[in-house]
Chains A and B, each alone.
Chain A
Amino acid sequence: MNLAMLLDMAADTFGERTAVSCGTQSLTYSALREAARATAAQLDPAKFSHAALLDTNGLAAPIVLFASAYAGVPYVPLNFRLTGGEIEQLLLRIAPAWLASPAALSERLTLPQGIQRADRERLLTPPLAPAALEPPSDPAAIAVQLFTSGTSGTPKAAVLRHANLMSYILGTVEFAAAEVQEAALVAVPPYHIAGISAVLSSTYSGRRLVMLPSFDPEEWLRLVAEERITHAFVVPTMLVRIIEYLGSQATAMKFPTLRAIAYGGGRMPLAVIERALEVFAGVDFTNAYGLTETSATVCLLSPQDHRRAAAGTEPGIRRRLASVGKPLPTVELEVRDAAGRVLGPEQPGLLFVRGGQVAGEYRGVGSLLDPSGWFATQDLGWIDAEGYVFLEGRADDVIVRGAENISPGEIEEALLAHPAVADAVAVAIPSEQWGEAVGAAVVLHAAGTVTAEALQQWVRERLRSSRVPERVVFRSELPYNEMGKVLRRVVRRELETLG
């Protein structure tokens, strides 16, 4: 079992179709296979323990991903936004390794010993590829190693095996099901799990990939129109920026080819998805919840669920717009309390998942799956009576006030519902009386004015009194990482020093 099988099947069946394009360059499935095989011929597993990529979205990402699979060498896409020193540290951890990158991204680096660089442009004009290449078949071999964003210290190396990623693709994608005109716009970078799954899903379904090297709302909208995009995946901040860019002309914009937008990778504010459903009327929205450690998506909120919830008047239906939907048919999910007892509907606790795609493993740490195969996501949430899953944030982010566990999510939703508030984050602040109390950092709209006292009163009217932030500070913006995850520890430190 090997990821290369997906490309072999695609190239054998619809080899003349365009697999991927970026700017003026493109590759058919046959040409992609040829380039991947030619690159694989340089990747001697006896010489290189990893095949790394340091690049923005482009043709090199699918070439190196599949070349690694053909060669049987783990693929390691690196975050090009890190500092030179940080990238060198990661390269040290994967040496001896082969590294593909454009000169513009690697010239600032002092490559550690054992790193052999190949210029990206040479991947596109490869030497003659071997006529056929039988990829190694061990399903337990490592396919991909992704360094986590490291918001809590040294990046961890999450390991995904061929069997994990194949389980996800075979369980969710129908082979050759894409119509010839379908095209997917990829705006997430190659080092993100959604960037990996986009390549694999599109290859297996036969959907043309259009690579956006660096996200920008204007460029995203231009590509949707010019490349006649039918499908797109975005993280919540991208959708926020697209809607902001469209501004008042939004309702006049038409997207005749766009059929589906999937989103994930962070919490989607209710106001944003509600607005998106209006702006992109007629487009199917899918909320995809997953983690790097689970080979991407484990839960889906379907387009039909979005429409029912948006049109619903009954609160139980309406609130599902904030849900991540139901587990995939191939994934089991349960909520447990701190003692490990499985909880019933509506009871909040820790989310556990199980299934063939769930890897739950880090290099140097080993498997974190329990003996029955369950993985603790470290996400908090609950399931409603019909099986819809609701997230309440990361376990690490919980505010423990006295004996009460408070999720920042509900406080943030309440703050965001205020007309003057553009963005908000709630974190724990030290409290002599309670151990921890609630602090909030708030960004106001350009024309918005509101006092801290008025916001406290606003929350008090909506939530229990323990949820009312003791300290509210105003900021011009909140700290985010490049994938749109708010950096809570930065906010926490800032609020602590004010105390």
Chain B
Amino acid sequence: MRVLKPGLRLKSAVCATEVMVIRAPPGEAQLECGGTEMLGATEAVPAGAKLDPAHAQGSLIGKRYVDAAEALELLCTKGGEGSMSLDGAALGIKQAKALPSSD
């Protein structure tokens, strides 16, 4: 469990996935990737952690991941094999509305 706040960067303990928090719900939350809690950029990977096949749908660079309430929004900055969940519920890809280029 950890407090998530905008700008925080996290990495998967079991695959290459990296994310940055864009929006976060208040209080502590359990954010997992590949079935194991995600780590701060400089935290050591716990021994024996490996990808859980039940959480291996993959993450894609550049996509935004949100929970059902869209209280949490993550930007995937590196893709990986694991898929993410918040407090046990899988995160989904946020569909962005396409805007015309303004610059």
CA distance A231 to B101 in the complex (A): 8
Do A172 and B102 contact each other (CB < 8 Å), given the known contacts A5-B77, A8-B77?
yes
Q: Which of A163, A174, A300 lies in contact with B102, CB distance below 8 A?
A: A300
Do A197 and B103 contact each other (CB < 8 Å), given the known contacts A1-B6, A139-B6?
yes
- Surface stretch bound by A, among B26-34, B49-57, B81-89, B91-99: B91-99
B9 at interface by CB-CB < 8 Å: yes
Q: Which of A8, A12, A260, A328 lies in contact with B101, CB distance below 8 A?
A: A260
Taking a contact as CB atoms under 8 Å apart, the answer to whether A233 and B20 are in contact is no
CA distance A300 to B41 in the complex (A): 37
- Nearest Cβ on chain B to A5's Cβ, whole angstroms: 6
CA distance A13 to B41 in the complex (A): 20
Taking a contact as CB atoms under 8 Å apart, the answer to whether B103 and A233 are in contact is yes
B90 at interface by CB-CB < 8 Å: no
B75 at interface by CB-CB < 8 Å: yes
B25 at interface by CB-CB < 8 Å: no
CA distance A61 to B20 in the complex (A): 26
Encoded as 1 (CB less than 8 Å from any A CB) or 0, chain B from 1 to 27 comes to: 000001101000000000010100000
Please count how many residues in chain A sit with their CB below 8 Å of the partner chain's CB atoms.
39
CB nearest neighbor in B for A286? B100
A292 at interface by CB-CB < 8 Å: no
Write out the residue numbers on chain A whose beta carbons fall within 8 Å of the beta carbon of B63. Answer: 175
Write out the residue numbers on chain B whose beta carbons fall within 8 Å of the beta carbon of A279. Answer: none
Most buried by A among B77, B78, B96, B103: B103
B61 at interface by CB-CB < 8 Å: yes
A9 at interface by CB-CB < 8 Å: yes
Q: How many A-B Cβ pairs are below 8 Å? A: 74
Encoded as 1 (CB less than 8 Å from any A CB) or 0, chain B from 29 to 73 comes to: 000000000000100000000000000000001110000000000
- Nearest Cβ on chain B to A15's Cβ, whole angstroms: 13
Taking a contact as CB atoms under 8 Å apart, the answer to whether A201 and B101 are in contact is yes
Write out the residue numbers on chain A whose beta carbons fall within 8 Å of the beta carbon of B96. Answer: 174
CB nearest neighbor in A for B98? A174
Taking a contact as CB atoms under 8 Å apart, the answer to whether B62 and A296 are in contact is no
Taking a contact as CB atoms under 8 Å apart, the answer to whether A170 and B98 are in contact is no
A406 at interface by CB-CB < 8 Å: no
CA distance A5 to B18 in the complex (A): 12
CA distance A231 to B41 in the complex (A): 37
Write out the residue numbers on chain B whose beta carbons fall within 8 Å of the beta carbon of A303. Answer: 100
A146 at interface by CB-CB < 8 Å: no
Write out the residue numbers on chain A whose beta carbons fall within 8 Å of the beta carbon of B6. Answer: 1, 139, 163
CA distance A292 to B43 in the complex (A): 38
Do A300 and B100 contact each other (CB < 8 Å), given the known contacts A8-B77, A175-B61?
yes
What are 13 A-B contacts with C-beta separation under 8 Å? A1-B6, A163-B7, A174-B98, A175-B61, A194-B103, A197-B102, A201-B102, A205-B101, A262-B100, A288-B102, A290-B102, A297-B102, A302-B100
The residues of B with any CB-CB pair to A shorter than 8 Å are 6-7, 9, 20, 22, 41, 61-63, 75, 77-78, 96-103
Given contacts A1-B7, A5-B20, A13-B62, 5 further A-B contacts (CB under 8 A): A1-B20, A260-B101, A328-B99, A329-B97, A329-B99
Q: Which 10 A-B pairs have the closest CB atoms?
A: A175-B62, A288-B102, A1-B7, A139-B7, A197-B103, A297-B102, A286-B100, A198-B103, A201-B103, A262-B102
